[in-house]
Amino acid sequence: MADRMIYVDMTSQNVELKPFPAKWQTLGGRGLSAKILLDECNPKCDALGPENVLVLAPGVLSGTAAPTSGRISVGCKSPLTGGIKEANSGGQPGQHLVKLGYRAIVVKGQPKDASKRYALEVTAEGAKIVPADEYKGLLNYSLCERLATKYPKTTSFISIGPAGELRLKGASVATTDQDNRYPARHAARGGVGAVMGSKGLKYVAVDPGRASVVHAAERKKFGELCKDYSQAYLSGPLMFKHGTSSVVPIANMLHTFPHKNRVSGQSPDAKTLDGARIVESFESRGGGMHNCMTGCIVRCSNIVHGKDGKYVTSALEFETLTLLGSNCAVASWEDVAELDRLCDELGLDTIETGSALAVLMDAGQLKWGDAESMKALLREIPGGSERGKAVGNGVVAAGKFTGHHRVPHGKGQSLPAWDPRPLKATGVTYCTSPMGADHTAGLIINPGLTPDKFAYESQKVQIVNAVCDSSGFCQFLQPSLDNIRAFYGALFGREVSRDEIHGLGWQTLCDEWEFNKRAGFTAKDDVLADCLAKDPIGPANAVFDVAPEIIAAVYTKMTPGEDMFSAKASG
Amino acid sequence: MPSVRIPPPYRGPTLGAAEIRAEGETVGVVLDWVERKFPGFVAQVLDEDGNVHGFVKLFKNGEHLVRDPLRMPLADGDELEIIAAIAGG
């Protein structure tokens, strides 16, 4: 069993291995990050200063044979929202860390010389900080190509690009996938990359060597669960077999495919941005679907090639096609693929970046649909141009830079594709989630839901997703609380009750809300940008007009119905 | 009468109804019936050529309808379930 944590002090340049407390047995990923941050991070600290704490935490089931269970959480105080943040990513490092016996990496302090770069090398023997100035300023792909020549083939990487080094608030943390070790998976939201950059940490190299899979206390039962769950999933509808990009037409139909900075919820370019076009391209260009981590049975990630048959990017997702595509009136999925690649190289959240670019367009500072100008602007970012900084710092910064009025955000974080005007219950999640406007915190796509059910549905999905994000399972595997507690039970060798699993999710939310409260958040912050209350969308002229008392009801623990335990994780 | 199970994202036109008892002897006829009662519903299931959308799957009594789903017969007590891939990051 993994029973240690790696504590890294970037001020003193010391690394210490600490035992993983037994009382935290059921904590991993998001839940573990929340606990550590509440206990060890000053919520009022400067998010880019030495007091912030960066947590890299695989899930409870990571490293085991459970299918699609290797997700890793990156947690900190967010420089974008000012509150707690957990951003979740696929890729290999989560599995590798737990196989080596580590439940988390906790990074504190800050190098005295902000111009220096460091790396953390993690092996079965332990962890050490090494100088990394030679990699300073490198784009993520170039960095990983060079690292691949330095480290054993088994090594996976966690890295930042220039955006993180510049401490831009839209900066992401990249992880490498299992095939080519491309840095195409991103813990993207909330500026977690900026925090890693503020610690002077350019990359983490995790070499699992010959470390083997983590075994459950009840091996036979766990093995049967893995087999049964996988068989049931693989004999089902396989809704994500072509990736999330295939969601474009239905989102467009539901008026939640934002166009031109969200003035419309439908795009005239839905057909050319449809993921079906990407799938069609595989035949002539190569590429295809793959899994980003060992043991993934969903295989929702696409490998996208250009017209010349060469690799362009991986994991070209629905949100990216929306925010860098439709929302900027870019019509071609191929342009979006190149923009996605640029964001991955720089280490930027495609949602926040697309939203920021759309604000510049809406303000007349870029032309709608001008993909070449978007690419040129992104390429300016490492050089530190003012407009590059504005875009790299996210939608609110872009709003201030332009003085524009339409800045769609929740707690300072850009809205994702799923619009709270036709999807009001999702808007309730955006208002109450400790993460700000984050669809992975709890997406509810049910246009027929009546307002009296919004609070319960939002609380339900937030609990389910909090548990999922703590477990290591990918949300696209869509496990329920009953599924997760069955796996936990076999892993630990004891019954995990419905009360306990529900309690884990609720406690994670409470820890995160408490952090935000101590950071200074109040009920006044549980609102969305004005434009969402004023600008109607769709045939029903929907605005976000959910009553404050409905929003506030999410904070009171409700008695879970049977549906709480059968509801699938949704993101 | 066969019943039609509606996924949450499609419950706008059905005013929140999760399950509808419908009339019709085939899947296609049942969907037409639902459309007459709840205008706007069928566009979520069928494209402009009248084919099932690529992101939608139809199940009859738990069995995935792959070939010619609209012609599949439905009898009293049969359940037609519509599943759509909706999520995404």
Give A289-325 pLDDT, tens digit per residue.
999 999 999 999 999 999 999 999 999 999 999 999 9
Q: Tell me the residues of A at the B interface, defined by beta carbons under 8 Å apart.
A: 237, 239-240, 244-247, 249-251, 253-254, 276, 317-319, 416-417, 439-440, 443-450, 475-476, 570-571
Q: Which residues in A lie closer than 8 A to residue B89 (C-beta atoms)? A: 244, 317-319, 416, 439-440, 475, 571
Which residues are CB-neighbours of A289 under 8 A, at least 6 positions away?
Answer: A241, A242, A243, A299, A300, A301, A302, A303
Query: H helices then E strands: how many in chain A?
Result: 22, 17
Q: What angle do CA A469, A471, A475 make, to 5 degrees?
A: 45
Residue A63: predicted pLDDT: 96
Is it the case that residue A490 has pLDDT exceeding 90? yes
A450 vs B16, B54, B86: nearest CB: B16
For residue B69, the domain's CATH number is: 3.10.20.30
Which of B53, B55, B56, B66 should be substituted to probe chain A, the one whose Cβ sees the most A Cβ atoms within 10 Å?
B55
Q: Which of B13, B16, B55 sits opposite A250 (nearest CB)?
A: B55
Q: Give the model's pLDDT for residue B34.
A: 95
The predicted structure's pLDDT at residue B84: 81
User: Could you give the CA distance from residue A75 to residue A85 in angstroms, rounded to a whole number?
Assistant: 5
What are the DSSP calls for A519-530, one per residue? HT--GGGS-B-T
What would the pLDDT profile of A364-376 be if each residue is shown by its tens digit?
999 999 999 999 9
Look at residue B54 and tell me if it is in a domain: yes
Q: How high does pLDDT run on average in chain A? A: 96
CA A35, chain centre distance (Å)? 19
Rounded Cα distance between B84 and B86, Å, is 6
Residues of chain A with CATH 3.60.9.10: 4-206
Q: Domain of residue B43: give its range.
A: 3-84
Q: Rounded distance, CA B11 to CA B15, Å?
A: 6
Dihedral angle at the C-alpha atoms of A6, A11, A12, A18, nearest 10 degrees?
A: -20
Q: Is A192 exposed, middle or buried (0-12, 13-18, 19+ CB in 10 A)?
A: buried
Q: Which of A445, A470, A451 is nearest to A103 (CA)?
A: A470
Can you list the alpha helix ranges (DSSP code H) found in A48-191?
93-99, 140-150, 162-165
Interatomic CA distance for residues A318 and A330, integer angstroms: 14
pLDDT top residue among A250 and A388: A388
Among candidates A247, A417, A446 on the partner chain, residue whose Cβ is nearest the Cβ of B55: A247
What is the model's pLDDT at position A57?
Answer: 98
Write down the pLDDT at residue B89.
58
Helices (H) and strands (E) in chain B — how many of each?
A: 1, 5
Could you read off the pLDDT of A159-174 as tens digits, one per residue? 999 999 999 999 999 9
pLDDT digits (tens, 9 = 90+) for A98-151: 999 999 999 999 999 999 999 999 999 999 999 999 999 999 999 999 999 999
Tokens of A231: 């068989």
How many separate domains does chain B show? 1
Residues of chain A with CATH 1.10.569.10: 242-414
Q: Is the pLDDT of residue A240 over 90?
A: no
Q: Best of B53, B81, B86 to disrupt the A interface by mutation (most A CBs within 10 Å)?
A: B86
pLDDT band at A486; cut points 50, 70, 90: very high
Task: Tell me whether residues A244 and B87 touch, CB distance under 8 A.
Answer: yes
Q: Which of A314, A328, A326, A231 is nearest to A278 (CA)?
A: A314
Spatial distance between the Cα atoms of A196 and A54, rounded to a whole number of angstroms: 7
How does DSSP assign A399-423, residue by residue? HHHHT-S---EETTEE--SS-TTT-
Across the range A247-276, mean pLDDT stands at 95
The reply to whether B89 falls in a domain is no
Which residue has better confidence, A470 or B1?
Answer: A470
List C-alpha distances in Å: A323 to A319, A328, A356, A370: 6, 7, 9, 14
Please compute the mean of the pLDDT values over residues A205-220 and round it to a whole number.
96
CA gap A389, A171 in Å, rounded: 11
pTM: 0.95
B47 → chain A, closest CA residue: A249
- Distance from the Cα of A149 to chain B's closest Cα (Å) equals 32
Contact A240, A475 (CB under 8 A): no
Give me the tens of pLDDT residue by residue for chain B, a chain 89 residues long: 899 999 888 998 998 899 999 999 999 999 999 999 999 999 889 988 899 987 788 999 988 898 899 999 999 999 999 988 776 65
Among the partner residues A250, A449, A475, nearest to B86 by beta-carbon distance: A250
- Contact A382/A166 with Cβ under 8 angstroms? yes
CATH of the structural domain A424-566, one choice from 1.10.10.60, 3.40.1210.10, 3.50.50.60, 1.10.599.10:
1.10.599.10
CA distances (Å), origin A353, targets A15, A170, A241, B25: 34, 7, 27, 51
Give the model's pLDDT for residue B83.
Answer: 86
**Long-range Cβ contacts of A340-343 (<8 Å, 24+ apart):** A340/A313, A340/A316, A341/A312, A341/A313, A342/A375, A342/A378, A342/A379, A343/A172, A343/A378
Cα–Cα dist A551/A425, whole Å: 9
Q: Is residue A356 within 8 Å of A397, Cβ to Cβ?
A: yes
- pLDDT above 90 (res A180): no
* B43 found inside a domain: yes
- Report the C-alpha gap between A195 and A217 in whole angstroms: 37
**In the prediction, which pLDDT does B88 show?**
61
HSE (side-chain half, CA atoms, 13 Å) at A495: 3
**Lookup: tokens for B63:** 């069995």
What value does the mean pLDDT take over residues A91-95? 96
What is the rounded distance in angstroms from the CA atom of residue B57 to the CA atom of residue A552? Answer: 37
CATH among 3.40.50.720, 3.60.9.10, 1.10.540.10, 3.30.70.270 for A4-206: 3.60.9.10
Please give the pLDDT value at position B66.
87
How much is the pLDDT for A29?
98
Chain A CB contacts of B55 below 8 Å: 239, 246-247, 249-250
**ipTM for this prediction:** 0.81
CATH 1.10.569.10 fits A242-414, yes or no: yes
Residue A237: list chain B partners with CB under 8 A.
57, 59, 64, 83, 85
**Are the Cβ atoms of B87 and A475 closer than 8 angstroms?**
yes
The strand ranges marked E within chain B are 3-5, 19-21, 56-60, 63-64, 79-84
Structural contact between residues A186 and A349, judged by C-beta atoms closer than 8 angstroms: yes
| Cβ neighbours of A318 in B, within 8 Å | 88-89
Cβ neighbours for A111, distance < 8 A, ≥ 6 positions apart: A10, A11, A13, A118, A199, A200
Inter-residue contact A109 to A195 (CB < 8 Å):
no
Q: In terms of DSSP H, where are the helices of A116-165?
A: 140-150, 162-165
Q: How far apart are CA A381 and CA A62, in angstroms?
A: 35
| Lowest pLDDT segment from A71-75, A84-88, A299-303, A331-335 | A299-303
Q: Which helix H or strand E contains A62, and what residues bound it?
A: none
- Nearest residue in chain B measured CA to CA from A449: B16
Measure the CA–CA gap between A554 and A551, rounded to whole angstroms: 6
Convert the pLDDT of each residue in A411-435 to its tens digit: 999 999 999 999 999 999 999 999 9
Return the pLDDT at A2: 84
Closest residue on chain A to B83 (Cα): A237
| Residue A176 banded pLDDT, cuts 50, 70, 90 | very high
